[in-house]
Amino acid sequence: MQDPDNPEKRPRKSRHILLKIDSWIDSTLWNAGFRSAEIWEDITIFFRRFRVRGWKRIVFELGGEALTLGTAGFVLMLALAQPAFEATKEDWRNRGDFAVTFTDRYGNVIGHRGVIHQNSVPIDEVPDSLIKAVLATEDRRFFDHFGIDVIGLFRAFVTNAQAGEVVQGGSTLTQQLAKNLFLSNERSIDRKITEAFLALWLEANLSKKEILSTYLDRAYMGGGTFGAAAAAQFYFGKNITDVNLAESAMLAGLFKAPAKYAPHVNLPAARARANEVLTNLVQSGMMTEGQVIAARRTPATVVDRNEQEAPDFFLDWAFDEVQRLASRFHQHSLIVRTTIDMGIQKAAEDSIETSLREYGESYHAKQGAMVMLENGGAVRAMVGGRDYGESQFNRATKALRQPGSSFKVYTYSVAMESGMTPKTTIIDAPIYWGNWSPHNYENRYAGRVTLETAIAQSINTVPVRLAKEKLGIQPIRAMAKAMGVESPVRDDVTIPIGTSEVTVLDQATAYAVFPAGGYQSRRHGITQVLDYDGDVLYDFDRDEPPAKRVLSEQADTYMNQMLTRIPYVGTARKAALDNGILTGGKTGTTQAYRDAWFIGFTGNYTCAVWFGNDDYTSTNNMTGGSLPAMTFKRAMDYAHQGIVLRSIPGVQNPAPSAKDAAKTVAAKPEDGIPQLIRPRMLSVESTRILKDLGEKLKDALPLDAQKVASAR
C-alpha cells in the first residue's frame, strides 16, 4: 500500500503526467503536419488538371501577370483618386446659393457673384441651336463617352503630333465642368489626373442633361458674367431662350477663351470665332451649310458696353470672404461694400500688363500678380494674373511661391525684438547648418558687416547665422504668422532665406505692419455687408477686433530705418517713387530665378509684386530689383497722386536723391552702407513745374543738344 504522505513518491507521479503531456503534444503536431501534407497534396493534385502547356501556357502566364499588374494599378488609381474624393465632399451644388452685388469703396456697382448673375434656365428651354453649337465645338461625342473620350484623346494626339504643337485639346465637356467646379487652371499632371477622376464621378452621379445644364450655368463667359444666360443678357440684351443661331454661335465661341473672344472687347475676333463654330456645326453633321448660311451673312450684333471692366480676381476673393462672414447672419441676398479703388485697380492691372508686354519675353516671364493695401488694411487693388478670361486661378491669393530674400524681414524683425540694432555687426562668411550651406550672390563675402548693410545688400549668410547662433527657427516662424502670413510656414533651417512658400497677399499683409507702427495691418476687402432692406449685417470697424501690436515701437522703427535704405542704396533702386516720396521695401529672388518679388511701402500704401511662370520654369535672370521693382513704382506713383502724404513711423526725413545716396556710400566705404544724409524736399507741385519746364527747354534745343541732355 502506497503511503500518500511519502515525499519520495510525489516527484515520480509528476514526471509521469509531464511525459503524457509531452507525448500528446508530439503526436498531435505530427498528425497535424501529416494531415496538412495530405491536404496540400490533394490541392496540388486538384490544380494539376488545370496545368496547360504550349501556347495556352503563354496566354495564362500573360493573364496572370496582367491580373497582378491590374491589382497594383487599381491600388495606385485609388491613391491618385483621393484628391478627387476630397473635392466632392464639398457642397458644390449650392455654391451659387448666394446672390451678392459688390460696390467699390465709393458705392459704385462693380460686379456680381452667385445666383444674381442670372437665374439658370432649364436645359429643355435652351435653344437647340445653342446646344448644338456648344457640342459641335467643345465635345461632339458628349453623349457617347463616359466622361473621358479615348477616341477624342487619340485624335487630338495625332493632330498635335502632325502639327508639332498643341492645336487641339482632348478634354471632354465633363472634364471642363470638373475643372470649373472643383479645380484651378494650373497646368500640372496632378491636376489633370484629378480632373479625370472628377469627370468619371460626375458621369456616375449626374445625367448627361444635368452635366450639360450645369456646364452652361457655371462657365465664365467674359465681361464678368458666368453662365450662358447671363452672357446672353450682357452681350445681346435678351433672354437666353430668344437667341438666334448667329448669337448662339458667338456664345459657343466664348467657352474656349472668353477674354480673347468677348464681343464687347473685340467684336471682329468674336465674329471670326462664331464663324468657326458655324463651320464646326456643318463638319459635325449637326447642321447643313444651307442652315448656317444666313448666320454667316448676318453675324450677331452686341449691346454697346463702354462701362468699366469688373475686377474679377478681387471679386472672387471677396465672394469667398462673404461666404466666410455669412455664418454671422442668415441672409444670402446681399449688397457688399468693398474696399477696392477702381482707379488704383486699373493702374495696377495696367502696370502688370505693361511690364509683361515690354519685358516679359526678354525675361521669359508669363505671369504676374499684385496686391496693394492702404495703410490701415483696406485692399485697394488686386491683380491675380495677366488675363482672367484665360485663367481664373488667383495668383495673388492662392499661388504658393517661394519668397526668396523678401522673407528675411521676419528674421531681422526677431533680431530687432531681441535687442539688436541696425548698427549691430555680424560676420558675413561661409556657414554650415548640418549638411546645408547657404551662399551669397556670386559667392562674395564681406567679413564683418552691420545688419543694415546685410539686409540692404541681401546677404544670405547673415540671417542664417542669426537664426542658427542667436534666434532659432521657431521665433522666426512665429513672427511671420503674427505679422500676417497665413500660409503654412515650414519648420526648416532654410526658411531664413525664404524657402517656405507664401502668397502675394501674405507678403502685402505682413509688410503693412511696418508703416502701421508695428500693429497688425488688419487686411480686409469688405467694409460693410447689407441686406436689400438696407440693414447693416456686418461692419468691419464695428465687428472686428482692434489691431494687436506684433512689433515693439523700437523694433518697428529700426526695421523702417533699414528698409527705407534699400530703394536708394540697396537692391531695389528702381522702386524709389518720384517726387521725393520716401519708399521702403525688400526684394526677393528665388533659386534658379523662378520667382521675383518686390514688396514695398510708403506712409500711405503697401504693395506686393510677383513675377514668374505657372509651371515653375526659370525666368531669364529676373531679380526682384528689376521688373517687380519697376512695376511697383509704376503703380505706386499713380496711387500717390493728389493725396496727403503720410510719414513712415520712425523715419521722418524725406527720401534722398540718387545723387546724395551715391555720395553717402562713397563717403564711408568702410561702413558698407552708412546712414543717409536726407536733403530737403521740394513740394510735389514745385517738382512737377520744374520737370515740365525742363521738358519744354529740352524740346527747344537743337537735335544734337537734346541727345546730350538725354544722356545726362
d(CA 608, CA 606): 7
- Residue pair 476/414 in contact by the 8 Å Cβ criterion: yes
User: How does pLDDT run across 57-71, given as a tens digit for each residue?
Assistant: 777 778 777 878 777
Residue 504 has pLDDT above 90, yes or no: yes
For strands 595-601 and 584-589, give the pairing. Answer: antiparallel
Helix 128-138 crosses helix 173-182 at what angle (to 10 degrees)?
90
Compute the average pLDDT of residues 383-390: 90
Question: pTM for this structure?
Answer: 0.66
Apex 232 CA angle, 226 and 237, nearest 5: 125
> What pLDDT does 702 receive?
38
Choice between 72 and 381, residue whose per-residue pLDDT is larger:
381
Compute the average pLDDT of residues 449-454: 94
Which of the residue ranges 1-15, 414-428, 489-503, 545-559 would you say has the lowest mean pLDDT?
Answer: 1-15
Residue 405 annotated among the catalytic residues of the structure: yes
> What pLDDT does 580 receive?
86
Active-site choice (129, 248, 351, 405): 405
Residue 116 has pLDDT above 50, yes or no: no
- Residue pair 672/453 in contact by the 8 Å Cβ criterion: yes
For strands 584-589 and 378-383, give the pairing. Answer: unpaired
Q: What is the mean pLDDT of the chain?
A: 83
Residue 136 has pLDDT above 80, yes or no: yes
> What pLDDT does 665 receive?
39
Residue 705 has pLDDT above 60, yes or no: no
Residue 185's DSSP bridge partners are none
Q: Which residues contact 33 (CB under 8 A, 6 or more apart)?
A: none
Residue 670 has pLDDT above 70, yes or no: no
User: How does pLDDT run across 198-256, given as a tens digit for each residue?
Assistant: 888 888 888 899 899 888 888 888 877 778 888 898 899 888 999 999 999 999 999 88
Overall CATH class of domain 346-681: alpha beta
CATH of domain 92-99+120-297: 1.10.3810.10
Compute the average pLDDT of residues 360-373: 96
Buried b (16+ CB within 10 A) or exposed e, 519-550: bbbbbbbbbbbbeeeeeebbebeeeeeebeeb
Q: Work out the pLDDT band at 55, boundaries 50, 70, 90.
A: confident
Domain extents for the chain? 92-99+120-297, 346-681
Residue 295 has pLDDT above 90, yes or no: yes
> What pLDDT does 617 receive?
94
User: How does pLDDT run across 387-399, given as a tens digit for each residue?
Assistant: 888 888 999 999 9
Compute the average pLDDT of residues 648-657: 73
d(CA 108, CA 103): 5
Active-site choice (120, 138, 458, 626): 138
Compute the average pLDDT of residues 517-527: 96
Residue 61 annotated among the catalytic residues of the structure: no
> What pLDDT does 157 receive?
67
C-alpha pair distances (Å), 638 with each of 339, 521, 686: 17, 22, 18
Q: Residue 652: phi, psi to the nearest 5? A: -90, -20
Q: What percent of the chain has pLDDT over 70?
A: 81
Choice between 375 and 82, residue whose per-residue pLDDT is larger:
375
User: How does pLDDT run across 155-207, given as a tens digit for each residue?
Assistant: 766 766 666 665 556 688 888 888 877 776 666 677 778 888 888 888 888 88
Residue 314 has pLDDT above 80, yes or no: yes
Q: Which helix (H) or strand (E) holds 368?
A: strand 367-374
